[in-house]
Amino acid sequence: MLQYEKANYFRDQHNSPKLLMLPNVWDVMSAKLMESVGFHSLATASVALAAANGYPDDQHIPLELLLQQVSKIVRSVSVPVSVDFERGYSNNLSELQDNVKRLMDTGAIGINIEDSEAGGKGLKSIAEQCKILEMIRKVANDQGINLVINARTDVYLNRQIKQPVAEAIKRAKAYGDAGADCFYPILISRMDELETLVKETSIPINVLMIKPFANLLQLEQLGIKRVSLGPGMLNYAITKMQNVAKALREYDTKGYFDEESVNTAFLNQLI
């Protein structure tokens, strides 16, 4: 598929009655593995991609390196790839516009953009974030790509907000009007608040996969359209490696042989 076809296909997945599960990847091998398992779309996770390249999260990975890695991931798979672009790597609207163009040049068909200020200094105003979303939509339209914009809000990360669900509803409506296709209230954790958000808004909702939302069928029946794993897959892989390594230090090989591992031939098929 061409880039515009992938964008349209990805968009259609948000309008399906079936839940869109997005396994977040960080390199070519993880992307090809998730495609081989049968996922129809992928997304990067900023935490995982940065960590895999030796950087902490929060835009510490150089933009050039991020774009290189995204380009490799996009070229390695045939399915659509959305990218966690954090705050866009600039506070200047003109520079941010150029960064979005460069991201789209990698072949990415979706973007995750957040409304927090740098350095944990609170949230951008709704008006400020809407200008960013409107700009991203214009850049995408000018390139003829129906980019899927996932507008992340950090209202549940900011403890100064006393009524996060009310603020989330306000932002969901405004962000949708500004061109966002999906709304991501990261770290929302109560099913009743999630239900209120779905009832009070019309924009597709994306949630992070956390224990309170482990019942995926319940989320689907509620009307949630998209679930992200964030850095969960990388965390799981690293946890498994750490536990096996600790056991081996004590001459305990049981964990090493507990599960049948993939072989070299499988890895070669992936790459």
Q: What is the mean pLDDT of residues 20-29?
A: 96
DSSP designation for 123 = B
Q: What is the mean pLDDT of residues 193-210?
A: 98
The band of 244, judged by pLDDT with boundaries at 50, 70 and 90, is very high
Of the CA atoms within 13 Å of residue 135, those in its CB half-sphere come to: 18
Amino acid in position 171: R
**Is the predicted pLDDT of residue 195 greater than 90, yes or no?**
yes
**CA triplet 239, 209, 71: central angle to 5 degrees?**
75
The band of 121, judged by pLDDT with boundaries at 50, 70 and 90, is confident
User: What is the Cα–Cα distance from 15 to 182, expressed in whole angstroms?
Assistant: 10
Q: What is the mean pLDDT of residues 79-91?
A: 97
Residue 42 is predicted with a pLDDT of: 98
The average confidence (pLDDT) of the chain is: 96
Contacts of 122 (CB under 8 A, 6+ apart): 116, 158, 160
Residue 120 is predicted with a pLDDT of: 76
User: What is the Cα–Cα distance from 218 to 271, expressed in whole angstroms?
Assistant: 36
Amino acid in position 211: K
Residue 70 is predicted with a pLDDT of: 98
The band of 269, judged by pLDDT with boundaries at 50, 70 and 90, is confident
**Is the predicted pLDDT of residue 203 greater than 90, yes or no?**
yes
How far CA 93 is from CA of 61, 68, 182, 259, in Å, comes to 20, 22, 21, 50
**Is the predicted pLDDT of residue 119 greater than 80, yes or no?**
no
User: What is the Cα–Cα distance from 91 to 97, expressed in whole angstroms?
Assistant: 10
